A and B are shown apart, each in its own frame.
Chain A
Amino acid sequence: MKCEERQDAIALLACGALEGVEREELLRHLDRGCPRCAGVRAESEATFAHLALALEPVAPPAHLRDALLERVQRVPRPALVPRAARSEPAAPRSAWARPLVAAALAAVLTGVALFVPTRRTVRALEAQIAGRDESLARLDARLRTLEQQQREAVETASFLGAATTAIYRLGPTGTQPGAEARVFMDPRLRRAQLVASNLASPGPGRTYELWFIEAGGRKIPAGTFDVDASGAGTLSAQIPADAAEIAVLAITDEPAGGSTEPTGQVHLAGNIQASS
């Protein structure tokens, strides 16, 4: 059925006379949100309401007012949220122009006036937005991690590929015969990159620590690292500017957080001057 053909039915609905399947069909159509028919309905209802305003007003007896107010006082009632306050501030309106204006708007703006969000839909949308915000924050954190990893990977690749980078092999000292490690060092950039494998877990409350040992014997802590389940661990270290020529690299196990001087067992070690 076309909307033009619904005009009689809308007029009947607006004055309360529509019945049966015609009423059901029209209400279904209106529920689907036809802005044009909803606009006509609002206008028609407002127009018919004038029939009431045309009646000569009759003052109700005073006792009716008193009884009402007394009844109201007896009924405690929580504050309600008026629909008027839930949406945008109401535009200035006159009593009867409003439905007409709304109807005209509805017809012209194809439903803008009718799709004023209800409080429930606003809440649902807000919940959805909050959910999306959370997912976004998680994705954002993940993205930052990946970006950081990628920067490190690029840096490492360029570092490892640099002509000045030398590779030193650290061998097992007997505590862990299968363990091994390589250290990539660039004396110009004063950078070192450790890649260890087949190391056992250092045990609860302990960690591995890399040492730069100068030819003179001074032991410089280069940083701590942990190993994964497969026994692999990595560490990027900066060679201190005041460090003299480094002769030996060693890895010990230390209390978590590391030590300033080696206290644990040496598991891997390599002589730099010997290997280069």
Chain B
Amino acid sequence: MTSKSASAAGAAGEDVELLAAIAAGDAGALSALYDRHAPALFALTLRILRDRPAAEEVVSDVFFELWRRADRYDSARGSATAYLIGLTRSRAIDRHRAGRSERAHVVASTSEPSSEALIGSTDPGATHDATLRGQVAAAVRGALGSLSPVQRRAVELAYFDGLSHSEVAAELGEPLGTVKSRIREGLMRLRDALLPIHESGALP
């Protein structure tokens, strides 16, 4: 273990402790968890909703929900970070879908800026971020960069825009079966790209 990975494991351990303290009614633990994760979660809600006030509201609601129902987190099912991201994505997608029905077009056209604009360069070599999050971001960018544009788009439409697989197929003008395998292929490449980071133990 490097000192970096040790501190990373410590941070993950702290998340679990913070969630336990929140469950016990410790408001200070909630603000500590907020300080640690709110920027990443706000970036996620902004990406999904593309609406600043709505994104702020969802982040606030997620932490308030954590405050009220911190006992729902089960460490046996996954890391606290994964839980926070999953919960935030789910609430943001719900909000997005509710708003979507009011809009004429379900999603923007495929010429809309993709991950490149959102997460910067797809060249993994371009990022030399020393932080763990930087390493992960670089690995994910590298994995996304190795996907074909339409493959990457399929993953993003599902994950960030909350489209169902038939909606993704319609959006991309591709058969359902093709979309399914594209998303699976995207998942495999992401996983393979992240594997070296997981194995080194250097994780956020």
Contacts and interface: CB of A to CB of B under 8 A. Distances in A.
Q: Do A and B come from one complex?
A: yes
A38 B141 CA distance: 27
Contacts of A12: 158, 165, 180, 183-184
B166 interface: yes
B95 to A, nearest CB: 14
Interface of B: 5, 8-9, 11-13, 15-16, 19-20, 23-25, 27, 30-31, 34-35, 38-44, 46-47, 56, 59-60, 63-64, 67-82, 85-86, 88-90, 93, 115, 118-120, 133, 136-137, 139-141, 144, 155-156, 158-160, 162-166, 168, 180-181, 183-184, 187, 190-191, 194, 197-198, 201, 203-204
A229 interface: no
Pick the 10 closest A-B CB pairs, nearest first.
A80-B71, A57-B39, A54-B140, A17-B158, A83-B74, A84-B75, A82-B23, A94-B203, A55-B43, A19-B164
14 contacts: A8-B180, A17-B158, A19-B166, A49-B86, A53-B137, A60-B38, A79-B25, A83-B73, A84-B19, A94-B9, A94-B203, A96-B82, A99-B79, A116-B76
Nearest to B120: A56
Contact of A14 (B69, B75, B165, B187): B187
Given A98-B75, A98-B82, 12 more contacts: A19-B164, A45-B86, A50-B136, A54-B141, A57-B42, A60-B42, A64-B56, A72-B64, A82-B71, A84-B74, A90-B16, A90-B75
Nearest to A87: B76
B182 to A, nearest CB: 10
Contacts of A57: 39-40, 42-43, 133
A84 B19 CA distance: 9
Contacts of B88: 52
- Is chain B's binding surface mostly helix, strand, loop or mixed? helix
B11 A61 contact: no
B187 A50 contact: no
Contacts of B155: 15, 48, 51
Nearest to A43: B191
Contacts of A51: 140, 155-156, 159-160, 190
B156 to A, nearest CB: 8
Contacts of B140: 50-51, 53-54
Q: Which of B31, B43, B76 has the most CB of A within 10 A?
A: B76
A8 B181 contact: yes
A58 B20 contact: no
Given A15-B159, A58-B42, A77 B68 contact: yes
A188 interface: no
A56 to B, nearest CB: 6
A72 B30 contact: yes
A94 B184 contact: no
A65 B34 contact: yes
Interface string A74-97: 010111111111010010111111
A18 B176 CA distance: 11
A113 interface: yes
B198 A100 contact: yes
A42 B201 CA distance: 18
Nearest to B166: A19
B25 A83 contact: no
Contacts of A16: 89-90, 93, 158-159, 162
A7 interface: yes
Q: Which of A11, A85, A94 has the most CB of B within 10 A?
A: A94
A64 B59 CA distance: 9
A233 to B, nearest CB: 64
Nearest to A50: B140
A102 interface: yes
A94 B201 contact: yes
A52 B164 contact: no
A150 B204 CA distance: 71
B79 A52 contact: no
A126 to B, nearest CB: 19
